[in-house]
Structure 1
Amino acid sequence: MNNPLEMLADLQVEYSRAIVLGGLLMTVVLATGLPSIQLETDFQSSLPDTLPEIQAQDKVESEFRSSSAIIVLFQTNKESLEENFVTDVRDPRMLRMQKTLTEELEAESMVGQVQSPASLFPRIPDTKEQVKKALEGTQTGSFFNRDYTATQMYVNLEDEMTEQNIRAATELIEQNLEQTPKQPGIDITVTGNPVIRTDMGDTMVSDSMTTISAASLLILVLLGFARGRIYGPITFVPLFIGLIWTLGMMGHLGIPLTIATIALGAMILGLGVEYGSFITERIIEEKEKLGDVEAAVKDSVPTTGLAILGSSTTTIVGFSALLIASISFIRNLGLTLGLGIALTLVSALVITPALIIEYERWRK
């Protein structure tokens, strides 16, 4: 009885076109998971919740919401001062603007509590001296800096602080800021940990696309030099297909993209390129020796395939050790790398010989 790799080689010779089309169809199906890839930028959520310190921090977050609020920062502009500019954030004009903004935001369904210096006054005083007197003996450290050139507003959401909700809330705040009358000499910035998280998510996506593009281009060029202008791209295509399978599976399985997996694409391309390269090189050698591509595939796949199976298995087992880590994003890193290596191996071992056969048949 033939071993599985010999049976695979026979199938590749007999059904090469069907294998190529099946691989492309599978790529299209799995690619539907790409838009579903989640971003996980909250480092604290990745930590083990069994630690007392983490439990205490979760309690602080849930009850005080200290670092889960979106912050609107108001700062005086010291670069260009004019007579009517606000130079002290205790200026009643500043407080009236904040009160108006607070009322507008609290009227929005997705916004919960809004806190600002204006919240300290049932009625905004008419003069700065009255404001100063009203604030005497009041704990205002969370609202003002020492020299009263900056103040901040805290905006908490009714819904869960997901990346999607944070983006929507940030956009809502900015829209309300555009409609709120500005005070001269004041610069306004929307910030806070949630906003930084969403910005980090945008950077992660951008960096991921950049690293994948750079790695793909460099590997394709190097394969072109090593395998020629035909066999170089033939070797690269199954590798890239394996990467799409991996990212698509991440979307379908709900495996998030984290700071640990940001370079996942480039790592999979770099680790998986050897599988297709080895099988292509061996088929080329056997084809030159035997003069027939079909015989070359039947000789190459069982032998070289067994070697790369052994090599990839040890790599997958090594990455699988990360699954016992306490931190979730380390576990996700091991899972995605192991999955990526397995899928690029399957793509290289199954699709690469079929592509070579189809090319050689077309050339004839």
Structure 2
Amino acid sequence: MNALFRRLAGLRPAGVLAAHTVLLLVMLAGMSRLTLRNNDDADLPANDPIVQTNKKFEAIFGGKDRVLIGLESADAFSPGSLTATREITDAFVGLKWVVGNEIKSLSTIKNIEANADGLDVDTLYDGPPLSAADAADVRRKALANPLIQGRVVSDDGTDSLILINVVRGSDQAQVFEDTYRILEPYRDRFTVRVIGDLILSEAIDRGIQDDAVVLFPIGIFVQLLILWAIFRNVRLVAASVLATVVGIAWTMGLMGWLGYPVTVVTTSIPILIAVTAGSYAIYYLHALLEERLVQNDLVTANQSAMSKVAYPLWIACLTSAVGAYSLIVFKVSAIAELGVVTAIGTVASLIVVITLLPALIRCWWKDSAQSGKPTGLEASSRIMRWAEAGLTRLAAASVARPVTTLIAYVVLLGMTLVSLTFLRTGANFAEYLPDGHPIKTDMAYFDARLGGSRYFDVLVEAGANEGVQDPAFLRRVEAIQRYAETLPSVGHTLSFVDVLTRIDGVMNNKPAGEIPATFDQAAQYLLLYSISSSPEDFSDLVDYDYRRVKIFIPVKTSEQDTHIAIYRQLKDFIAQQPTDGILVEYGGNLLVWLAQMDYIIIGKIQNIISSVITIVLLCAFFFRSLRYALLAAAPIVLAILATFALMAVLGLRLEVSTAVITGITIGIGIDFSYHFLYHYRRARERSGDAHAAIVDAIQASGAAILFTVVVTVLGFTAFIFSAFTPIQNFGYLVSVNMIFSGLATFTLIPALLAVRRPQAGVTPVMAVETGHAGY
């Protein structure tokens, strides 16, 4: 294998560059095929119960989501406010993502009153102009109707509310853009507030994607500075950065050709590939400069360096790819896709580095440096020697007191395991937004004053058509509503029962109506309503067969722990009631996100177990030794556990952004221990002296590992400048993980090696073709 890579490094640069130019054009064409996916349901398996229930809701009631708009003014019933409410409502009519024309506002909601003939059902007001007397009449009717007061107008009469039902699967970007376009002209006269799951998701996605566009160049620039500080050669650094960018283009192009969409999770791929490709470039450049110090010819040094690093880099690359691919166990498709694409990109990056980078260096290095000893390498060599000396002292301290070192790690492991018991799961998605973000402010306002910004849907199904007219069924629905309203953070619920009790109240001239006493009475109320208006007015509350009703349960918090508590208490309460042929199901986007959290927890456990086992088996195969495989895995396993323990201590939760850390860091971190043990094993086979072999391993790979840690940490440090907490947390945690992995490589592994008993005779680990490999 090394002979093959030696020949590749000796190919004519012009031919290599021409081939890469053609391939780059192909990958750019693939990038043009990339699509964006931002639908939450698409991230769950199609057979998930929540997905199935939401499809049932869609089939029966038509809508999946809601957008809520609030117009705050001194008086929601002033002629100007009422006119603006009607104009905004009319502007949404006919948009393809609006369910029919299901828009509830003061201008569309039907007011139910009694008259001499039975019921008078009509809108509160219609076309302009609105006089002061008209506005006063609207106020009187609205404040007397509990279906309006506190639902489409705030209790204090300052906020006019507009509720829009959204078609399932709508493009959230289109919903976001249309909503803000329509509302923009009214912001100079009103305080306009907008909330909704799609609005929140799009705001988070846009913010993260916008930050990624800014942070990616920062990460590349930081990488460039570090590489220049290490290697002190502009051409080497430029070649490395160009190879990194090409590796990213390959990854994104292959992503497009394979049909994987861009999601908010996969927007992190460019920086991941930049760090990965940068680390491969460091190992190669380190070997090249070592060879240039002893070789007079650049071509020969290039080939020698490549033959020394290619095999261990390929093994480390495959192990990293497997670590990333282990994310495939997640049922949340965005995380699984991140794992697949990162695995592909890891391999693609190494192909680019070991083919394009040598060609670029041969083209760009000054002609005067093509033969003879080049100038300017002394500073870089001096940095490497300092790094190796420091790491040697660090490892020597562990070797001198191996038992003490191991006890310290055992204590750390114990503290870590205890801390893991405090690790929380779930997310408060509103907290993803930075403080002061308009949508975060709007959500807090809705939660505090307008009944809540999130919601559950509960479907209650009778045993037969027209069963919702059965008083017993209606009492069951009412009992669920009243119980839900006793739970913390639940606002005013709404169902078809509220409509019937309103009709009962106006028919009997009572301030508060009651559930119809008989089936016939309920049927009579519906008949009276149908004479005055259309039963379609209730299409989002009851189906046409009068068999199923939907309860709308607003929630005044984005805290998922509270959502889970509400969901569980509702289920427990309903489970304690007699069934009587009644079926209850739960839906809504809150449950989609709760389901995602369940999959993330299960997937995280599976991911850790599967990735560690797979990597241990791979290392055992490559080293031909289970002992060495376990040694290689020890630092990264401890680093993962320590990272999650740190999350628990800092109050960070296991959710989408933090769940992917294992698959990413285990792939990068395992490179450190693999390179170290690769060279330790070879040195041990030559000398038989464990201590000397540790020193040789550090001299061969220590500087490259350290520089890789530095580049990785500083590359991910760019994430902390994001305004969005998921990106910040991802950057912090990956950086901490890499530091711990690197530190454990030079302290834990030497300590474990030092306490091993010497063995008589060590079987050579690598095949004959790799017997001379090393750098």
TM-score, length of structure 2 as denominator length: 0.42
- The residue identity in structure 2 corresponding to 1:212 is I
Partner residue, 2:636: 239
- In structure 1, what is the Cα distance between the partners aligned to 2:667 and 2:529? 61
Partner residue, 1:32: 418
Q: Does 1:312 align with 2:692?
A: no
Q: Give every structure 1 segment of 4 or more consecutive aligned residues whose post-TM-superposition deviation is greater than 6 Å.
A: none
Indicate the SS of the match to 2:584.
strand
Partner residue, 1:82: none
CA spacing shift, 1:103–1:359, aligned 2, 3 Å: same
The Cα of 1:192 is off from its aligned counterpart by 3.0
The Cα of 1:189 is off from its aligned counterpart by 0.8
Higher relative contact order (CA 8 A, sep 6+): 1
- The residue identity in structure 2 corresponding to 1:38 is R
8 Å CA contact retained: 1:41, 1:198: no
Indicate the SS of the match to 1:32.
helix
- In structure 2, what is the Cα distance between the partners aligned to 1:349 and 1:29? 21
- The residue identity in structure 1 corresponding to 2:732 is L
Partner residue, 1:18: 404
The Cα of 1:54 is off from its aligned counterpart by 4.9
The Cα of 1:269 is off from its aligned counterpart by 0.9
CA spacing shift, 1:52–1:108, aligned 2, 3 Å: closer
- In structure 1, what is the Cα distance between the partners aligned to 2:568 and 2:604? 24
- In structure 1, what is the Cα distance between the partners aligned to 2:699 and 2:414? 29
The Cα of 1:318 is off from its aligned counterpart by 1.1
The Cα of 1:129 is off from its aligned counterpart by 1.4
The Cα of 1:111 is off from its aligned counterpart by 5.7
The Cα of 1:248 is off from its aligned counterpart by 0.9
Indicate the SS of the match to 1:36.
coil
- In structure 2, what is the Cα distance between the partners aligned to 1:96 and 1:131? 16
- In structure 2, what is the Cα distance between the partners aligned to 1:209 and 1:283? 32
- In structure 1, what is the Cα distance between the partners aligned to 2:453 and 2:441? 15
Of 567, 570, 578, the residue aligned with 1:170 is 567
Partner residue, 1:70: 456
8 Å CA contact retained: 1:30, 1:244: yes
- The residue identity in structure 1 corresponding to 2:643 is T
1:276-295 to structure 2, matched below 5 A, reads 276-295=673-692
Partner residue, 1:194: 590
8 Å CA contact retained: 2:462, 2:547: yes
The Cα of 1:116 is off from its aligned counterpart by 2.9
Bigger shift: residues 246-255 or 216-225: 246-255
Q: Does 1:328 align with 2:725?
A: yes
Partner residue, 1:153: 551
Deviations 1:312-338 (A, max 9, x none): 110111111122223221221112111
Indicate the SS of the match to 2:656.
coil
Q: Mark the runs of 5 or more structure 2 residues left unpaired by the alignment.
A: 1-385, 502-512, 762-775
Partner residue, 1:300: 697
CA spacing shift, 1:28–1:324, aligned 2, 3 Å: same
The Cα of 1:278 is off from its aligned counterpart by 1.1
8 Å CA contact retained: 1:211, 1:263: no
CA spacing shift, 1:238–1:109, aligned 2, 3 Å: closer
Calculate percent identity across the aligned residue pairs.
Answer: 19
Count of residue pairs brought into register by the alignment: 355
Indicate the SS of the match to 1:152.
strand
Partner residue, 1:94: 473
Partner residue, 2:620: 224
Deviations 1:29-55 (A, max 9, x none): 122222222334444431345444554
- In structure 1, what is the Cα distance between the partners aligned to 2:492 and 2:446? 17
Bigger shift: residues 248-257 or 163-172: 163-172
CA spacing shift, 1:360–1:87, aligned 2, 3 Å: farther
8 Å CA contact retained: 1:67, 1:193: no
- In structure 1, what is the Cα distance between the partners aligned to 2:460 and 2:528? 21
Indicate the SS of the match to 2:550.
strand
Indicate the SS of the match to 2:514.
coil
8 Å CA contact retained: 1:39, 1:257: yes
- In structure 1, what is the Cα distance between the partners aligned to 2:596 and 2:634? 31
The Cα of 1:234 is off from its aligned counterpart by 1.5
Q: Mark the runs of 5 or more structure 1 residues left unpaired by the alignment.
A: 78-84
CA spacing shift, 1:23–1:53, aligned 2, 3 Å: closer
- The residue identity in structure 2 corresponding to 1:47 is L
8 Å CA contact retained: 1:90, 1:131: no
Q: Does 1:268 align with 2:647?
A: no
8 Å CA contact retained: 1:161, 1:194: no
TM-score, length of structure 1 as denominator length: 0.85
Deviations 1:81-100 (A, max 9, x none): xxxx3445344332121123
